[in-house]
Amino acid sequence: MPHETQSLNRARERAQKPSWDLDGFDYNAPAELFPSRVRKGGSRVTYRRFDTAAEALRFAVEQMPAPVLIGSYLEVDEARFGVQEIRSLYESAAYPLPRRAMAD
C-alpha cells in the first residue's frame, strides 16, 4: 500500500508542474497551429503554418475565437504547447511582437 501512495503522490506532483520550461522558447522558430474541432458555431479556423512562433501566438490569442483556442495546440520544434502555454508565451516579457491593446 505505501508504494501505491508514493506513486499517486509522484503523479500529482507531475500534474501540478508546468509541462514545459518556457524560458528558452524560440519565438523565431517556424510553427504550426492546430485549432480544435469545434462543431458548434461553424468556425472556419483551420490548420496554419507560420514563419515564426511569435506570429502564430499572435494569431492564436488575438484572432482565434475563444472556443476554438481552448482545444488548440501550437507545435514548435516537435514540441506541443496547449492553450495555457500559448497564453503564457504571448504574455511573456520575451514576446518580441507588439500586442493588441486590450479593451478595458
Please answer whether residues 52 and 27 qualify as being in contact, where contact means their C-beta atoms are separated by less than 8 angstroms: yes
**Phi, psi (degrees; rounded to nearest 5) at 79:** -110, 140
Residue 87 has pLDDT above 70, yes or no: yes
More confident residue, 42 or 33: 33
User: Cα separation of 48 and 97, whole Å?
Assistant: 19
Rounded average pLDDT over 44-60: 93
What angle is formed at CA 51 by the lines to CA 47 and CA 56, rounded to 5 degrees? 50
Task: Give domain status of residue 11, yes or no.
Answer: no
- pTM of the complete model: 0.73
Query: 10-39: per-residue pLDDT in tens?
Result: 544 444 444 455 778 999 999 999 998 766
Residue span of the structural domain in which 54 resides: 27-98
Residue 34 lies in a domain: yes
Residue 49 β-bridge partners: 32
pLDDT at 38: 65
48 found inside a domain? yes
Residue 19 lies in a domain: no
Residue 6 lies in a domain: no
Q: Residue 37: what pLDDT?
A: 75
Phi and psi (nearest 5°) for 102? -85, 140
- Asked if the structure places residue 67 within a domain, the reply is yes
Could you tell me if residue 18 is inside a domain? no
Domain count, the chain: 1
pLDDT attached to residue 3: 53
SS3 at position 40: coil
93 part of a folded domain: yes
CA nearest 45: which of 25, 28, 27, 62? 62
